[in-house]
Structure 1
Amino acid sequence: MAVNATIYKAELQINDMDRHYYATHALTLAQHPSETEARLMARLLAFALYADDRLEFGKGLSDENEPALLRRSYSQDIELWIDLGQPDEARLRKACGRSEQVVVINYAGHAGDVWWDKAAAGLRRFENLTVLEIPEEAIAGMTAIVERSSRWQCLIQDGELQLINEDAVIVAAPHVRMGRYLAEA
């Protein structure tokens, strides 16, 4: 018998002072049986960083040809492809060919450093690729308080993100390894 996905509901109120984007999103996140809570929280954080009315969660782990998040143009072309973790160079080459902008959000601490040391030289040739590192502590903080139904306020200012709920304030400043963070665009 197949194990079903675990459903999480999140209300995310975003006040992005850097991009002048202000909206509330009612999100449904389906946690694949093999997905960790850390990766689930990284998807939520990625949504907050790149929030847009057309940003959507991809099929992720259940379809290896899709990103964790994507934004399509009105003509259904992929404008933004967001992957999490440490994707291989072949996957990113394909993504960079299919999308206007590709973002990798790494959240694995030392494992992310090792991946970057090995992959950096090959990835630098992709002009439409951005690689961000989220502090491992931020994801761990979110994971520690995750609930199946939650409300979050997100404030982004000067490249720093604050996620606030009734239990905690999580602060994360994405470190840009390559490309540029959306707030700088």
Structure 2
Amino acid sequence: MALKSTIFKLDLQIADLDRNYYGNHTLTIARHPSETDERMMMRVIAFILHANEALVFGKGLSAEDEPDLLRKDLTGSITQWIDVGLPDEKRIRRACGRAQHVAVIAYGSRATEIWWQQNRAAFERQEKLTIYQISPEDAAALTALTSRNMQLQCTLQEGELWLIMGEHNLRVAPITLS
């Protein structure tokens, strides 16, 4: 018998002062059986950084050729492709060919630095690509906030995220690599 996804509910309030975007989102997030809480929370961070009424979670780990998050225009063309983790250069190149803009949320420890150094030249040739790095400390702090029902308030200002969940306050400072 196949394992089923675990469902998480998230009430998210976003005040993005950098993009002048303000929105309330009620999200249902399916965490794949092989996905960690850390990776799921990175998908939430990706959603916050690129929040839009048309942004949706993709099949991610369940489908090889689909992003973790995506946004399409009215014609069905992909305007935004967002991956979480350390995708290979070939996947990024294909995504840049299919979407108007591609973003990657890289996280983890030493592996992120190695991945970046190995692929930096190829990534810097992709004009449509933005890569953010989340520090291991920020990723661990986010993971500690994970619960099946979450209420999260987020303010983005000058590239930093300020998150409030209950009595917990957290600052996440993504580093733009490319």
Which position in structure 1 is the counterpart of 2:155? 155
Q: 2:126 is paired with a residue of what secondary structure? A: coil
Q: d(CA) in 1 for partners of 2:160 and 2:99?
A: 26
Asked if residue 143 in structure 1 is aligned to residue 143 in structure 2, the reply is yes
2:10 alignment partner in structure 1 = 10
RMSD: 0.8
AA aligned opposite 2:95? A
Whole-angstrom distance in 2 between the partners of 1:6 and 1:71: 24
Q: Which runs of 4+ in 1 moved over 3 A?
A: none
How far did residue 108 of structure 1 move? Answer: 1.0
Aligned partners of 2:65, 2:170: CA distance in 1, in Å?
31
Q: Which runs of 5+ in 2 are unaligned?
A: none
CA–CA distance in structure 2, aligned partners of residues 94 and 114 of structure 1: 22
**TM-score normalised by L of structure 1:** 0.94
> Which residue number corresponds to residue 39 of structure 1?
39
- The residue aligned with 1:127 is 127
Quote how far apart the aligned CAs of 1:3 are: 0.4
Paired residue total: 178
Unpaired segments ≥5 residues, structure 1: 179-185
Secondary structure, in 3 states, of the residue corresponding to 1:27?
strand
What's 1:165 paired with? 165
Identity over the aligned pairs, expressed in percent?
A: 47
Question: Is 2:88 aligned against 1:107?
Answer: no
Question: Which amino acid in structure 1 is aligned with residue 148 of structure 2?
Answer: R
Residue-by-residue CA offset, 1:41-100 (whole Å, 9 max, x unaligned): 000011011100000000000001000000111111000000111111110111000000
Q: Which position in structure 1 is the counterpart of 2:20?
A: 20
TM-score by length of structure 2 reads 0.98
Is the 1:145–1:167 Cα contact (8 Å) retained in structure 2?
no
Give the conservation status (yes or no) of the 8 Å contact 1:89–1:122: yes
